[in-house]
Structure 1
């Protein structure tokens, strides 16, 4: 089991858990807002005339992107639901450990959702290899900034919980 981040000076273990969980929930609020807006946009696309004219590839890409948004939303909301169900059972440390995993997986699905959305727009706007290049570049930026850079900044002995 990975250790929790160090405590602030004079902070009790219970206060540290509460602070860590509060920080996690605040981070999830930021990500969840983005997922909800993007999910609504993706749902609305289906009801446009332009959507009906798209190729099976674009419609399939759209469906995969919607499923990624649903997975992201599920994973990012789960920690708040767990806390609500388990908060009186003194399981905050365990909830925090698994919530961290959900947050990272939810963020990965959010990156996939955003990449898929950019690729859909690029396919409709320009199509062909250039659209795929735009999609690939978008994926590289998300993976790089959200996952590679933090890994490079973190000491080798600190692995996520």
Structure 2
């Protein structure tokens, strides 16, 4: 299970690291100083969540490196799996607040919360609901 988990983490890491990198550049743009206080607060929360998501999704790699060869693989896999789930939840929150900020800046229309809600619902469906549904349907199956 360790190899599968690390491969899954690599996919999520790439996305969160690219997003986090872009977020770090926003504060250096001239328009940042003209953002409303609310938008600046959303940005700060987004950057902090992005940093936390990055930490949680890089954590399993560090864990593997530090415990490799110490015969703790079952515990390490469980801990890395938990870190990955936390990282995905933080990535969801980061994506949500990033989308909210971008749409608030791009348009001041009242439909922004509805768009963000629809996208978050899509993420929840793809990231949690469908996988949990598949797991429940396969309870008596092979273990893969």
Task: Note whether the superposition's TM-score is higher than 0.5.
Answer: yes
| Paired positions, count | 139
Partner of 1:78 in structure 2? 59
- Using structure 1 for the length normalisation, give the TM-score: 0.81
Question: Displaced runs of 4+ in structure 1, greater than 4 A?
Answer: none
Q: Secondary structure at the match of 2:136?
A: coil
Partner of 1:66 in structure 2? 47
Give 1:151 shift: 1.1
User: Which stretches in structure 1 are left out of the alignment for 5+ residues?
Assistant: 1-19
Partner of 1:109 in structure 2? 90
User: Which stretches in structure 2 are left out of the alignment for 5+ residues?
Assistant: none
Distance across 2 between alignment mates of 1:38 and 1:57 = 21
- Measured on the aligned residues, the alpha-carbon RMSD in Å equals 1.5
Partner deviation per Cα, 1:82-127 (whole Å, 9 max, x = no partner) = 1111112100110001111111110111111111111111000112
Q: Secondary structure at the match of 1:127?
A: coil
- Using structure 2 for the length normalisation, give the TM-score: 0.90
Give 1:128 shift: 4.3
Q: Secondary structure at the match of 1:81?
A: helix
2:28 corresponds to which of 47, 56, 61: 47
Structure showing greater radius of gyration is 1
Instruction: Verify: 1:149 aligned to 2:130, yes or no.
Output: yes
